[in-house]
Amino acid sequence: MATSDSGAMKVVCPACGQRIRIPAARMADHPRCASCKTPLFGGHPVTLDDATFDRFLQDTDLPLLVDFWAPWCGPCRTFAPLIERAASEFEPALMVAKLDTEAAPAAAGRLRIQSIPTIVLFKQGRELARQSGAMPWAALSAWIQSHGVKLRTGS
């Protein structure tokens, strides 16, 4: 994991949007937002939209996995439980988010998302990898780990 100059990780609070600094050694200690006291990692994907996408992309030191989906998409709905599982099993080494392409067309368009579901892995604000189409858990987990993200100990 990348750390800022102070040895702390920057993470955006999914509840209030504040950027929080957490000592890297304390990331697995169930950190809470200093501002709103909400747990920073709830084991569920963060819901992003056009207004919050860039904040999470730019202000989080953690790798960010974004599932681009739409409510009318059958494969997206089938894939949703696996994205939920990814949040549960990879946090706090990875922040997992979902972005509804119908509700957030600007972010999806800027990234040229042409089919859904599409997952994109970002690191330090840059796209690291992209995969279109639903996949089984073993393939999703292996894909994430192939980009240097480790499963939480005990998973």
Q: What is the pLDDT of residues 133-149, one digit of tens each?
A: 999 999 999 999 999 88
Structurally, how many domains does the chain consist of?
Answer: 1
Note whether residue 117 is domain-resident: yes
Domain that holds residue 49: 42-145
Judged by DSSP in three states, 144 sits in helix
Amino acid at 13: C
* pTM score of the predicted model: 0.91
Q: Would residue 22 count as lying in a domain? A: no
Residue 29 lies in a domain: no
Residues of the chain short of pLDDT 70, as ranges, are 1-6, 153-155
Has residue 17 been placed in a domain?
A: no
120 in a domain, yes or no? yes
For residue 2, the model assigns a pLDDT of: 47
What is the C-alpha separation between 35 and 16, in angstroms, rounded?
Answer: 8
HSE at residue 59, side-chain half, CA atoms within 13 A, is 14
Residue 21 lies in a domain: no
CA 97 from chain centre, in angstroms, equals 4
Does residue 25 belong to any structural domain of this protein? no
Question: CATH code at 58?
Answer: 3.40.30.10
Which pLDDT belongs to residue 64?
A: 95
Contacts for 75 with CB less than 8 Å, ≥ 6 apart? 116, 117, 133, 134
CB atoms within 10 A of CB 49: 12
In the DSSP assignment, the letter for residue 113 is -
84 in a structural domain: yes
Residues 75 and 136: beta-carbon distance below 8 Å: no
Given this model, what pLDDT does residue 3 score? 46
pLDDT at 153: 55
**Confidence (pLDDT) at 81:** 97
Q: How far is CA 6 from CA 1, 3, 21, 23, in A?
A: 14, 8, 9, 8
What was the pLDDT predicted at 155? 44
Rounded to 5 degrees, φ, ψ at 114 are -110, -15
- Alpha-carbon distance 152 to 136, whole Å? 19
Which residues are marked as active site? 73, 76
- The DSSP code for 26 is G
* CA neighbor of 134 nearest in space, from 90, 88, 93, 73: 73
